[in-house]
Each structure stands twice: as C-alpha cells, then as structure tokens.
Chains A and B, each alone.
Chain A
C-alpha cells in the first residue's frame, strides 16, 4: 500500500494480486472514491458505502474507451478550472475576444483602440488562423475573424469586448 499526495488529496494505492491496482481517496464531501485498474485494461469505478466502509455501494465497469471518454470529460473541466484560476489573479482578467464583422474596429490599427487601453486593458496577442502574433505592434491592423487576447482590469476587458464584438451590451459571460 502506497500513499501519494495529489494537490493536498491523499491517494492510497493498493496492489490486488492477480487483478491489478486499486487507487482510492476521500472526496471533499466525505465520500470514499476508488478506481481499480485491471491488468487486462478495463477500470472499475468504485463508490464506497457510507454505512459499511469496507464495501462498495457502486461498482461501475469502464472499458478502455469508456475510461477515455470519462477522462476527457473530467480533463476538459480541469482546463476550464485552470483558466478560471488564471483569471482571478488579484484583479487581473484575461480573455479571448473574437473580432466580428459587426465590430467598428475591423481593419483598424491597435493604436486606434486607445480608449480601451485608457480603461486598463491591453491586447497582448492576436490569433489569426493557425498563427499567433505575440505582442502586436501599435500599427497592427485587426481583421474580421481574428481573436484578440486581452489582459487588464475586468472593466477594461469588458469594454474591449464590446468594441471588438460591435456592441457594448449585453455583456458576454466570461467562460
């Protein structure tokens, strides 16, 4: 039995001779959650019984493709979480703003977006097709279909969003 730590969560690893390996940990809500990785490939997702902590109240068989699907789903939400965390650095907001045809700023230079900068947001990069232009110059011309990466105060980024989307309201949800 081996204990490992993943982000302050204690994960116990137990060998099951002839079967595979079992990992388990306690969730924040106090549920004991486990996973058996069978040597032959499939996984069993386990939820332990609150009433009888030695037994499982739920055993879910996941074949290899099922495991991949579930991992993708869990992994995707993990990425979103990371971005949300990035966005909450002491008053700093980062966002990806698509330039739409409705925007008054298509084909205009970044320097002409001065108003937004005044409100505390800067375009730090522009994504055009497969290409990323980091730290674009003031003379850089935005085109429809570009995505601007904006960093600044929440209000500044929101203002920039309004400019590049062609309206100031309604305010879009930050993903």
Chain B
C-alpha cells in the first residue's frame, strides 16, 4: 500500500467513526429526553448501519472497541459492589436469588431446545432471559426517586446475586463454547470454574492491597493503571478460556475505597464510549431481513419472561415484608433486560453458535429494554397481578427490608 493510500484509509476510518459517533449522540439525546435507555437505539443503529451499508466496518477498530466495551461493562459492574456487599447479599438474599434463577432461566432454555438448538445455544438463551439489566434498573430507580423506598434494598440484592451468578455462568459458557470431546469439555469447565473461584477469593481477600497499589494522587496514573490492569487480566483470563469479561469483573470487585470511587469517575465515560461501540457492533452483525422471522417469537418470549420476572420479584418482596404497591413497583422495575443479555448472546454469536441467537436476543432486548422502564413508571397496572399472586400463596413475611 502506498503512503497516500494509507493516509486516505485513515481519513476514511476517522470520518466513518465520527459519523457513527454523531449518530449515536443524536440517538442518546432522544433517549435522554424520553427517559429511556439508549441501548435499544444503539442496537437499531447498528442493524440499520449494517443493512444500509452506510458505515464500512473493517473489523479491526470497531471489533476491538466492542471487545473493550464488554470488558469495561463488566469491570464497572464489579466496581459497583464492594466485596462486603457481595458476600452479605449472598447470605441474606440467596433464596430470592434461587427463585429468580429458577423462574427466569428455564423459559429461554426451553425455547432454545424447542427450536431444535444445541444445548449450549439453549443455555445461552436461558442466560439472556435470566439476567435483568442492572444499568437500566439503577437509572430508572434514581430517575423515579425510588432509591429510598423500602422495596429497593431487596431489589438491589437480587441484582447483586444475578451479577454474582454471571461470574460463574460466563466462564462456564466460555468453556462449553470451546467444545471438544466430553472429557476436554469437563476439563476446561473445571479449569474455568476453579480459576473463577480462585480469582474471586483473591479479589475478596487481597482487594485492599491491590487498591493500595493502584491508588495515586494523579488521575492520569490511576486511569492508565486501572485500564491497563483490566485489559491485562481480561487478556490472561481469555487465554485461560475463563472469559475476559469475568477477569475484568473480578478486577472491579477487588478495587475498593477511594480508588474505586476515582476509577468509577475516570472510567465511566470510557465505558459509555466503548459500550456504545459494543452495542452497535452487535447490531452490525445482524441482517435486517433476519429480524421479522424472529420478531413474533421474541415478543412471546418477552411476554412470558416479563411475567416470570414479575413473579420471582414478587416472591422476594413478599418475603421481605414489602406491601402490595412496593411489590408491584419492584416487580415492574426488574423486567428490564439489557446490556448483559446482549453480552451473553454475543458470546454465542462470536463462537458461531445458532444463526438465530443474535437476532432473537436483539429483538428480545429491544422489547424489554423499552418496556421495562415504561412498566416501572406505570407500575399500577401490575397491582391486580400482584393481588392475584398474593391470593395464591401468602409467604410468612419476615422482618424489615
């Protein structure tokens, strides 16, 4: 390639990225005005850009960006909760977490199996329907002034447990996707789980030391150290086939105190940038013409899993002694699915799993990322559902939130 051609190439890439970023900025603006998550917009933008061929994605830049996006999403998730919060919630909220898993994982799994997918793809779809979007839900709770409500602590506890479940689920799926003989799979599974458990132990026990090493009065040093550490651990985890995302998640868990606060402040904008890249990239991989075929199924699955989510949240709220309206509010809030469902689906798409997984997950998230916040706002329509549930079974209310 001549020098002039290379220069023209760089110019084209920069211009394309600029256009894409501006389109996303416009969409995020619309989303902010309407008070809805920008994730569905990013997905739609990705599908549209890919189908119209407006932005030629050469792979490299955007693909790496999207990979960094996943890693940063998980890192920030780990950062969100301190290790003390993780372990105390694990103890107190376990029954609610189990009910959440038992009601929301099977619908996806069953639909996958009914579609004739292989077991791994079906397990991925189970993950897609299981995990609520802590990003969307945290924002909705803050926007609607519900952070102080009594139903909020048990609700957050469910989200914490889902995120902990991800720490086991993601390396498990990563190992299963690699495939091989049964023996190889069991071997890589064992390695994956042991590595995740060991890393979690290290993060919980030696997090303080890590935080001390990272801490520095210069923001620049903290930014580069943290970013470097996340990518390094993610890379090593990926090499060990433990899933890069989980490595990043554990780095997040390990950081605590003032360092965690500055990391949140410094890496938050970076996360937003790369996460947007990730969602667009996921959308780019979906051809527009594949959507109509899965749209009906996505709607049914969304409807069913909205109901199972409502039921599991109601159970947890009733257990915590929350009143009817609080139960309805919490149930409605938990319906939203978002970033993590896409991350799970992306795992399968990258590994060349079932062709329909990507479009189905995209359409599913599109529906519930939009419906979730709306339902949270107009939770009153759920009051009859909650009353019906209360009549079927009345768990003995335990003390306080």
Contact = CB atoms under 8 A, between A and B. Distances in A.
A15 B85 contact: yes
A56 B147 CA distance: 9
A17 B160 contact: yes
Contacts of A19: 138, 147, 156
Contact of B401 (A1, A17, A18): A1
A22 B148 contact: yes
B148 A34 contact: yes
A44 B323 contact: no
A104 interface: no
A1 B325 contact: no
B136 to A, nearest CB: 13
Nearest to A44: B148
Nearest to A18: B80
Nearest to A41: B261
A39 B156 contact: no
A17 B80 contact: yes
Contact of B81 (A12, A17, A34): A17
Contacts of B85: 15, 17-18
Given A14-B401, A39-B261, A40-B261, A55 B156 contact: no
B81 A16 contact: no
Contact of A17 (B148, B157, B322, B326): B157
Contacts of A15: 85, 88, 153
Interface string A44-59: 1010100011111001
Contact of B145 (A17, A22, A40, A59): A59
A74 B147 CA distance: 24
A36 interface: yes
Nearest to B84: A15
B138 to A, nearest CB: 6
B81 A55 contact: no
Interface of A: 1, 12, 14-19, 22, 34, 36, 39-40, 44, 46, 48, 52-56, 59
Interface of B: 80-81, 85, 88-89, 134, 138, 145-153, 156-157, 159-160, 261, 264, 322-323, 325-326, 329, 400-401
